Amino acid sequence: MESISLQDKFDVLIVGAGAAGSLIAAKAVQGGKSVLILEAGPERKLGDLESSQISARKLKWGGAPVEESGNHKIGNSFNSGYGTGGSALHHYAVWLRLHENDFNLATEQGVGLDWPINYKDLMPYYDRIQAEAGISGDAKAEKWRPQGAAYPMPALPVFAQGQVIAKGFNKLGMAVSPLPLAINSQPFKGRSSCLYDGWCDAGCPIGALANPLVTYLPQAFAGGASIRHNSTVSRVLHDASGRKATGVEYFDADGAVHQVLAEQVVLSAFAVQNARILLNSKSTKHPAGMANSSDKVGRYLMTHPAQLVLGLFDQQTDCHLGATGGQLLCQDDYANKDKGEAFGSYQWLIANATKPNDLLGIATGRADIYGAALDPFMRKAAKHFGQMNFVGEDIPLEDNRITLSERSDQFGLPLAATHHSINERTRALVTEGVNKGVEVFKAAGATETWTGPTVAMHLMGGTVMGADAKESVCDQYGRCHDLDNLYIAGPGLFPSSGAVNPTFTVHALALRTVEKMLAAS
């Protein structure tokens, strides 16, 4: 294989052009740094984001296959993106804060891990991010919301589907609030407001949704950052001492190997690939893989167990309207984690905009309806369908992990092998939650109710942060304990999952990281 040494040198080298990498790139150039982003996937532009659930599949992970095992596989291909903007390009923009009780699981609950920081450390960063990227919501109506500045935009409207399902929650004495979304309810910083057409899963091409193509990447490029697409990073390089990362090695689309040097290196290639790169960066100084003296790289892989509750209603629901992420939120079962047999917080994302086909579409959940019965069902459901998503907490378990497979990819690099199982208490949490959800649907007047399978939603862990270098990979700023200038960004840092969608927290942590990097250099 041809090896080219480019002799390139940058102040900051960022691996992955997704949510975390984009933010760090923007802030680093604004801090006067030269920045290069290496992105494994292809270039994507807003104009590529066709409104179709079928073409949306192009945006999914297209790199080396990821092996999956366990009783609750991580669903990497659905849960990861590829190319400019990463997964965040077509994420649904449900932006929620972790709660105060999410940070000290081990100390307070005797389960899992503690974060090395608390909510109050993160709060100012949440506030700054929401002011920069824009969130629509109603902070007062979210009675469960931890402290923080009110949202910069009013909530998005609630359509018929949301109104119909809300009645069920109300009848059972449960509260709902508008769902906070990083989607514009009004024009925001030159970006359009939402049209409520439910195409978020295919990527929002009008800039209403805070994806990296309209938030931090334009800022990064305006400040002079460069990006190389189709560039798959294979390993991190280090100096003779082993304490300093000197750059990375990557493969271009033709399989040629390149090296780029940098003063500071950031791995923001999402939970699975970050761990894979570290494990693949073995050397005499780092025999178990880079930053892995603790043997914690790859461990505590997490994903939110999620399950849909679906149904038909007499009322017209207009389920095609709204955002894919949903219209309403209920976190009534968040505060109390120790539920006896069951463990964890959970929340409901209510009234997701729905299309006829695809994994989350109307047809898919009812494989039992086929032949002559299918078309009448589809016609009825197009008008009367409703759904909501149970999102539960995952307990961080050491044996849920990413390792290197025996099998290799096209570049000869070992594949990532992932193992993820949920334990009895998490299984009980899902059962308890979903049973409650079915009750809600019945109370709302559903004429027919069914549930989906328990699936994996969001990927977290694998490079967790912690106060103790023997028990974690990174410190509270995402800097690897074992190296002075190698940083990790993204949800891989989370020592516990909470039960809220992770990307608002990813941004808040990345902002802390880049400010630390700028201060350190």
Binding-site ranges for other proteins (CB under 8 A): 36, 43, 45-47, 49-55, 57-58, 60, 62-63, 65, 68, 73, 75, 77-78, 82, 84, 190-192, 195, 197-199, 204-207, 213-214, 217-218, 221-222, 224-228, 320, 355-359, 361, 363-364, 367-368, 370-372, 374-375, 378-379, 382-383
Stretch that binds ligand SF4, among 32-40, 137-145, 189-197, 399-407 (CB under 6 A): 189-197
Q: Is 390 in the site for ligand FAD (CB under 6 A)?
A: no
Q: Is 458 in the site for ligand FAD (CB under 6 A)?
A: yes
Secondary structure element (H or E) that encloses residue 388, with its range? strand 385-392
Q: How long a stretch of residues is the chain?
A: 521
Place of tokens 């690897």: 480
Q: Which is nearer to ligand FAD, 191 or 384 (CB)?
A: 191
From the list ligand SF4, other proteins, ligand FAD, none, pick the one residue 20 interacts with, judged by a Cβ distance below 5 to 8 Å according to partner type.
ligand FAD
From the list ligand FAD, ligand SF4, other proteins, none, pick the one residue 200 interacts with, judged by a Cβ distance below 5 to 8 Å according to partner type.
ligand SF4
From the list ligand FAD, other proteins, ligand SF4, none, pick the one residue 382 interacts with, judged by a Cβ distance below 5 to 8 Å according to partner type.
other proteins
Which phi and psi (to 5°) does residue 135 adopt?
A: -130, 140
Residue 291 burial (CB count, 10 A): 27
From the list ligand SF4, other proteins, ligand FAD, none, pick the one residue 502 interacts with, judged by a Cβ distance below 5 to 8 Å according to partner type.
ligand FAD
Stretch that binds ligand SF4, among 19-27, 196-204, 379-387, 478-486 (CB under 6 A): 196-204
Min. distance of Cβ 384 from ligand FAD in angstroms?
25
Cα dihedral value 235, 238, 240, 244, nearest 10: -150
Min. distance of Cβ 206 from ligand SF4 in angstroms?
6
Q: Is 194 in the site for ligand SF4 (CB under 6 A)?
A: yes
Q: How far is CA 241 from CA 11, 238, 274, in A?
A: 20, 8, 22
Min. distance of Cβ 322 from ligand SF4 in angstroms?
7
From the list ligand SF4, other proteins, ligand FAD, none, pick the one residue 194 interacts with, judged by a Cβ distance below 5 to 8 Å according to partner type.
ligand SF4
**Binding marks (x or -) toward ligand FAD, 191..220, rule CB under 6 A?**
----------x-------------------
Q: Which is nearer to ligand SF4, 136 or 476 (CB)?
A: 136
Angle at 186 between CA 183 and CA 188, to 5 degrees: 75
The pairing of strands 3-15 and 257-267 is: parallel
| CA 89 distance to own-chain centroid | 11
From the list ligand FAD, other proteins, ligand SF4, none, pick the one residue 94 interacts with, judged by a Cβ distance below 5 to 8 Å according to partner type.
ligand FAD
Q: How far is CA 98 from CA 157, 294, 334, 393, 504, in A?
A: 24, 27, 10, 11, 9
Min. distance of Cβ 59 from ligand SF4 in angstroms?
13
Residue 170 burial (CB count, 10 A): 14
d(CA 69, CA 75): 10
d(CA 518, CA 521): 5
Min. distance of Cβ 462 from other proteins in angstroms?
19
Secondary structure element (H or E) that encloses residue 310, with its range? strand 302-313
Which parts of 238-358 fold into alpha helices (H)? Answer: 270-280
Among 19, 165, 183, 511, binds ligand SF4 (CB under 6 A): 183
d(CA 36, CA 226): 5
Q: Which is nearer to ligand SF4, 18 or 462 (CB)?
A: 18
Q: Is 343 in the site for ligand SF4 (CB under 6 A)?
A: no
Which phi and psi (to 5°) does residue 416 adopt?
A: -80, 130
Q: How far is CA 20 from CA 430, 468, 493, 505, in A?
A: 30, 24, 11, 10
**Binding marks (x or -) toward ligand SF4, 198..237, rule CB under 6 A?**
xxx---x-x-xx----------------------------
Q: How far is CA 29 from CA 138, 224, 248, 403, in A?
A: 33, 7, 20, 34
Positions that interact with ligand FAD (CB under 6 A): 15-21, 38-41, 63, 79-83, 86-88, 90-95, 201, 232-233, 268-270, 273, 277, 325, 458, 490-491, 501-503, 506
